[in-house]
Chain A
Amino acid sequence: MEARMNTKPEAYTPQPGDFEFLSNRDITTDKNYSSLSYWKGVAIHFFQDRKAVIGLIIIVAIILLSVFGPMINEYGYRDIVSFRNANNRKVVAKGIGPRIPALHEMLTGAPYDDDFADRTFLFGTDDLGRDLWTRTWYGARVSLIIAFVTIFIDMLIGMSYGLISGYFGGPVDQIMQRFVEIANSVPRLVIVSVLAIFMAKGMGLVIVALLLTEWIGMSKIARAEMLKTKEQEYVLASRTLGARNGHIIFSQILPNTIGPIITQVMFSIPTAIFTEAFLSFVGVGIALPQCSVGTLIEDGFNNITTLPYQILPPIIVLALLMLGFNFIGDGLREALAPKLEDM
């Protein structure tokens, strides 16, 4: 020490050219075995799963079509397609089967010989003369909006309920879980039938019915996750540092339990769409002239003996939605908790 102190006067003074700035890419420590962030790992697993990617493509395609599909032709979802023909008489395009004039001419060598010869109806028109392409995608839009909105609110309710119940434990948990048990024992239909007496038919009824039933599954998942997480060291550390309960639950534990909850959301969305379709089919859901997948299936069913093609588009859209969300849910579940043999 003494010696070094003595050498101080002769110490080297740094020159401007001695140092250079590190560029960003020199900072990374290990390039070959770099550790991935949690969500990056999940994304990689997810995109390796062929089924999950197919599901994602299906859902993205349906969402895009439900947003832009109605725009590609000039018919509105509630417009009856009608115009004046060559004899200046008003004709309505009632019950026209799916048709693409160019394709028809190519296959048969002759154009259609009716009043709508130059019109394209990709899915045909219904018994009133409304374009089914527009209605199908408009209906898909309504169904998707209902499903997303209700499931999002359900997620907030169920998640908070489950997290709080699991975090505090003891008597709070007991009381909250007894309530869940009772709420879970009421069949969904009983809730709907009682609601139907109190509320007017329409979108509101569907949303409230879904809000009342779908949060339970989420709360169970959230509670189970909370019970797994709350004994971990970082929670204890946070508490030792004086964090409030609300902060620990929602800022510390929530981000670490969100994965399984999102998976549950993916499985709840098809349930919501199914329930909406069922209620609309029965006639207490979406009211005319609006339409959803459910009312479209009902319309198709009512006309099945005369216009059998009408029921196909909404059913296919419904099935694809179910398929897509289930595939995504499966993929997410595997990606969030990969089994040892998959790694």
Chain B
Amino acid sequence: MGKYILKRIGTALLTLLIITFLLFLLVRIMPGNPFPSERMSDDMIANKRAEMGLDDPILTQFANYMRKLLFHGDFGNGTSLYYGVPINTVLSTCISNSFRIGGLAILIGTLLGLALGITAALHRGKFLDGFCTVLSIIGVCVPSYVFLIFLQYYFSFRIPFFPYFFDQKRFLFSSVIPSLSLSLFTLSTIARFTRNEMVEVMDSDYVRLAEAKGLYGGSLIRRHVFRNALIPIVTVLAPLIVDLLTGALVVEKIYGINGIGKLMVDAITGEGIDYNYVLALGILYSALYIGIMLLLDILYGILDPRIRVQGKAGDA
């Protein structure tokens, strides 16, 4: 198990390094330059370039960048006028906002999804089961920002109960609408998946055996059904968590939340954000993505003893 984890961590770090380098390279060879050339003379630009180390060979620049990033956790400064402040100050607020709202959404989605899925599986073919199916279909088919638009329209505009835009001072209160709308996709996927897994496990031979041995009710569900149904659920959770980071994009943009998703949208649309931010965000997103995948892979290995023995075959 230890060897397996070490190998996975090693691969993940190497992949991240390669991605970082590629991103760095792409950002450096991008067309245009960060200076408002009509306002600055050639000498001024040359000075500024030298000051920022833009004339060094690309590998030196990369080494400098990585040294700063790894030892000081410093993403450097933005280069443009508007975003010319240290990236870290901007990022820290954004990350904390995004993570709190995303975390809340994951919490709501997973807990409610599990509860709903288990209830549906225990009442197979009854009303709750049908309700779970319909809800999971809606949740998968409609993007989270559409839910946000509806919630915002009905509960902030028609009935002005919740704030129409995000308010940093009333954090918990104003994160109800975005967290709820973000959690719906997670909720529906987890509910559907839990239900199907539970049903499958409940029909399996070993549960029938356990029943034959006289186990029933809560302990049967808890110890035999749920534990085994949980393993595949962990696998769907990984992309869901990653999706929450991505799904948060439009939600943050619409609801005016100052988060990394909104920064990312600004980076994509090119609204006054500069290349260093694109680079920092790219590294951050990749690190998060790879990190979460790695974490859940290891968790999966702990939950499912078969993997510990075999290691993971190929890239599956």
The chain A residues found within 8 Å of chain B, CB to CB, are 177, 180-182, 185-190, 192-194, 196-198, 220, 224, 274, 277-279, 281-284, 297, 301, 304-305, 308, 311, 315, 318-320, 322-323, 326
Shortest C-beta distance, A209 to chain B (Å), equals 10
Q: Count of chain B residues with Cβ under 8 Å from any Cβ of A?
A: 46
13 inter-chain pairs at a CB distance below 8 angstroms, sorted by A residue, are A185-B286, A185-B290, A187-B246, A189-B264, A194-B278, A196-B270, A197-B27, A278-B249, A315-B146, A319-B138, A319-B142, A326-B140, A326-B141
Shortest C-beta distance, B5 to chain A (Å), equals 17
A187-B250 contact given A282-B265, A297-B146, A323-B141, CB 8 Å threshold: no
Give the contacts of B267-316 with A (CB-CB under 8 A).
Answer: 267-270, 275, 278, 281-282, 285-286, 289-290, 293, 314-316
Q: Once the chains bind, are B141 and A193 in contact (CB under 8 Å)?
A: no
User: Residue among A187, A220, A301, A311 with the most chain B CB within 10 A?
Assistant: A187
Q: Once the chains bind, are A193 and B250 in contact (CB under 8 Å)?
A: no
Please measure, in the bound complex, the distance between the C-alpha atom of A220 and the C-alpha atom of B315, giving whole angstroms: 9
A187-B145 contact given A193-B281, A194-B278, A282-B265, CB 8 Å threshold: no
A residues in contact with B16, CB < 8 Å: 185
The residue of chain B having its C-beta at the shortest distance from the C-beta of A297 within the complex is: B146
Q: Once the chains bind, are A193 and B278 in contact (CB under 8 Å)?
A: yes
Q: Once the chains bind, are B315 and A182 in contact (CB under 8 Å)?
A: no
Q: Once the chains bind, are A305 and B141 in contact (CB under 8 Å)?
A: no
Give the contacts of B6-37 with A (CB-CB under 8 A).
Answer: 11-12, 15-16, 18-19, 23, 26-27, 30-31
Please measure, in the bound complex, the distance between the C-alpha atom of A308 and the C-alpha atom of B154, giving whole angstroms: 11
* A277 touches which of B143, B253, B270 (Cβ 8 Å): B143
Would you call B135 an interface residue if the criterion is a C-beta within 8 Å of the partner chain's C-beta atoms? no
B residues in contact with A283, CB < 8 Å: 269
A residues in contact with B30, CB < 8 Å: 197-198
The residue of chain B having its C-beta at the shortest distance from the C-beta of A279 within the complex is: B268
User: Residue among B15, B146, B250, B293 with the most chain A CB within 10 A?
Assistant: B146
A301-B246 contact given A190-B23, A193-B264, CB 8 Å threshold: no
A residues in contact with B153, CB < 8 Å: 304-305, 308
Please measure, in the bound complex, the distance between the C-alpha atom of A167 and the C-alpha atom of B72, giving whole angstroms: 46
* A186 touches which of B19, B140, B146 (Cβ 8 Å): B19
The chain B residues found within 8 Å of chain A, CB to CB, are 11-12, 15-16, 18-19, 23, 26-27, 30-31, 137-138, 140-143, 145-146, 149, 153, 157, 242, 246, 249-250, 253-254, 264-265, 267-270, 275, 278, 281-282, 285-286, 289-290, 293, 314-316
A residues in contact with B149, CB < 8 Å: 301, 304, 311
Please measure, in the bound complex, the distance between the C-alpha atom of A282 and the C-alpha atom of B15, giving whole angstroms: 29
Q: Once the chains bind, are B11 and A194 in contact (CB under 8 Å)?
A: no
A residues in contact with B31, CB < 8 Å: 198
Please measure, in the bound complex, the distance between the C-alpha atom of A170 and the C-alpha atom of B208, giving whole angstroms: 44
Please measure, in the bound complex, the distance between the C-alpha atom of A315 and the C-alpha atom of B148, giving whole angstroms: 13
**Closest 3 A/B residue pairs (Cβ):** A322-B141, A190-B282, A319-B141
User: Residue among A192, A281, A323 with the most chain B CB within 10 A?
Assistant: A281
Q: Once the chains bind, are A284 and B268 in contact (CB under 8 Å)?
A: yes
Q: Once the chains bind, are A282 and B269 in contact (CB under 8 Å)?
A: yes
Q: Once the chains bind, are B246 and A197 in contact (CB under 8 Å)?
A: no
14 more CB-based (< 8 A) A-B contacts, given A187-B242, A297-B146, A305-B157: A182-B19, A185-B12, A185-B16, A185-B293, A186-B19, A186-B289, A190-B286, A196-B267, A197-B30, A220-B315, A281-B145, A311-B149, A318-B143, A322-B141
Q: Once the chains bind, are A192 and B268 in contact (CB under 8 Å)?
A: yes
Shortest C-beta distance, B156 to chain A (Å), equals 10
Please measure, in the bound complex, the distance between the C-alpha atom of A187 and the C-alpha atom of B250, giving whole angstroms: 16
Q: Once the chains bind, are A194 and B19 in contact (CB under 8 Å)?
A: no
Please measure, in the bound complex, the distance between the C-alpha atom of A6 and the C-alpha atom of B149, giving whole angstroms: 99
Please measure, in the bound complex, the distance between the C-alpha atom of A278 and the C-alpha atom of B153, giving whole angstroms: 20
A180-B315 contact given A194-B278, A305-B157, A326-B140, CB 8 Å threshold: yes
* B15 touches which of A182, A224, A318, A323 (Cβ 8 Å): A182
